[in-house]
Amino acid sequence: MPVTDAFFQQLAEMGHDPRLCKVRGSIRFDIREGDRLRQWLLMIDHGQLRVSPGGGPAQAVLKLSSEVAEAMVRGELNGLSAMLRGEILVDGDLALALRLGRLFPAPAVAREAGHPWPRR
């Protein structure tokens, strides 16, 4: 199972994340791997998380490669940095997309350097 699929399944099992208690919205991840497109739909309702494989309408759509998605899930890449470099394209609600950073592990460089933001 790809590491990104495991990540989304873990979010689904978690069911609630208090760090997103003020967030409502839907985000679709369009993850490209060669000619193949994997989609995940994440619905957030005041911290309640619902995750389903597949597409559908969403307030924000993140388009990224499988390599970028895997690096984010492993804590090797910061999502905002990837957006600024054009590795992640966002259609729709950018503010909502930016709130997702809380779900991903902090990059290992930050954890190892002892920066104050490793835990989100």
Q: Where are the domains of the chain?
A: 3-113
- The CATH superfamily assigned to 3-113 is SCP2 sterol-binding domain (3.30.1050.10)
Average pLDDT score over residue span 24-48? 96
Q: Which residues contact 112 (CB under 8 A, 6 or more apart)?
A: none
The tens digit of pLDDT for each residue in 58-104 reads: 999 999 999 999 999 999 999 999 999 999 999 999 999 999 888 88
Cα 117 versus chain centre, distance = 18
User: What is the identity of the amino acid at 116?
Assistant: P
Ramachandran area for residue 78 (φ above 0: left; ψ -120 to 50: alpha; else beta): beta
pTM for the structure as a whole:
0.85
24-33 and 36-45: which strand pairing?
A: antiparallel
H or E segment and range at residue 61: strand 60-65
With vertex at residue 90, the alpha carbon angle to CA 88 and CA 93, rounded to the nearest 5 degrees, is 145
